[in-house]
Amino acid sequence: MQLGNAAIGQYLPGSSLLHRADPRLKITTLAIFAVALFFVGGIAGLLVMGAGLLLALALARVPSRLIFRSSRPVLLLALITFCFQLFLHGGAQLGHLGPLTLYRDGARDGGFLALRLVLLVLSGITLSLTTPPVMLTDALGRLMAPLSQVRFPAYELALMMTIALRFIPALLAEADRIILAQAARGAGLGGGLTGRVRALLPVLIPLFILSFSNADELAQAMESRCYRGGRGRTQRRRLALGRVDALFALLALLLVGAGIVIGRKSGF
């Protein structure tokens, strides 16, 4: 098992419009897109927005298998949602499947809800596939910066996210080492659920202790490099909105607008 070499986040480097747009703008657009999904009145609108999203991912040269792999968990949830509506909705019947009755409105509402769920997750996946985690936390910190006026620890929160991301591979590598050390002394993974949980404890306890020790050292290293919170701190990256960002914002707004209008007018 090589946990330490696992890729963190799903970022796929590229130079498309999606990649080059300002991460703050991308996060804001994602928020607008997600809210807009709840204002779209019909499946046709959602289909337009979904097509736009898939086109953007295709232009960003994101392989379709990667999109599918990333959204697989939500596809299952969407399928369950669809089935619930299809079989339990009530109203006009569409037909029968063994002992189960299929409802016409259930199919429509189920499809609508499932599609909305998939698009919601897909938009988040699009952001993480085209934005490095470092830029994401940096952008979040900047977007939250005005909140520091009301004593909200915006910078500290962004730094916490950065450190959490930074330490995931290190923790995985440590877990890897502990598992190997336990295995070398004859520890197995155990059979059944209870056995597995019991086998995890000897891994988790040293991992926790090690994490606390690492956190202590990290705090000392940060202090020795003059860290004193966000006070008086400047930032290496200078983000400025440009033409690329204007084009990105325009296309995103057009897509969201088209989705809402078509959704309302089509009546489907």
* CB contact set of 85 (below 8 Å; sequence gap of 6+): 103, 106, 107, 109, 110, 113
The site map against other proteins for 33-72 (x = CB under 8 A) is ----------------------------------------
Q: Is 222 in the site for other proteins (CB under 8 A)?
A: yes
Q: Where are the beta strands (DSSP E) in the chain?
A: 93-97, 100-103
Selected from 16, 28, 128, 214, the binder of other proteins by CB under 8 A is 214
Selected from 150, 184, 193, 226, the binder of other proteins by CB under 8 A is 226
Q: Which two tokens stand for residue 103?
A: 């409802």
Q: Is 169 in the site for other proteins (CB under 8 A)?
A: yes
Q: Which two tokens stand for residue 188?
A: 């197995």
Whose tokens are 């489907």? That residue is 268
The site map against other proteins for 106-145 (x = CB under 8 A) is --------------------------xxx--x--------
Q: Is 224 in the site for other proteins (CB under 8 A)?
A: yes
CA-CA distance, 116 to 131, in Å (whole number)?
Answer: 23
| Of residues 170-189, those binding other proteins (CB under 8 A) | 170, 173
Q: Is 148 in the site for other proteins (CB under 8 A)?
A: no
Minimum CB distance to other proteins, residue 134 (Å): 4
Q: Is 241 in the site for other proteins (CB under 8 A)?
A: no
Selected from 77, 190, 208, 220, the binder of other proteins by CB under 8 A is 220
CA-CA distance, 262 to 207, in Å (whole number)?
Answer: 53
Neighbours of 124 (CB within 10 A): 16
Q: Is 29 in the site for other proteins (CB under 8 A)?
A: no
- Pick the stretch among 71-79, 146-154, 216-224, 251-259 that binds other proteins (CB under 8 A): 216-224
Q: Name the residue among 51, 61, 54 with its Cα closest to residue 19.
A: 61
Question: What is the phi/psi pair of residue 104, to 5°?
Answer: -60, -50
CA-CA distance, 268 to 264, in Å (whole number)?
Answer: 8
Minimum CB distance to other proteins, residue 18 (Å): 18
CA-CA distance, 33 to 190, in Å (whole number)?
Answer: 46
Minimum CB distance to other proteins, residue 1 (Å): 16
Q: What is the DSSP letter of 95?
A: E
Q: What is the DSSP letter of 173?
A: H
* Cα distances (Å, whole numbers) of residue 84 to 57, 78, 88: 30, 10, 6
Minimum CB distance to other proteins, residue 127 (Å): 16
- Pick the stretch among 33-41, 140-148, 197-205, 218-226 that binds other proteins (CB under 8 A): 218-226
Size of the site for other proteins (CB under 8 A): 34
The length of the chain is 268
Q: Is 162 in the site for other proteins (CB under 8 A)?
A: yes
Interacting residue ranges for other proteins, rule: CB under 8 A: 4, 8, 132-134, 137, 159, 162-163, 165-166, 169-170, 173, 213-214, 217-218, 220-228, 232-238
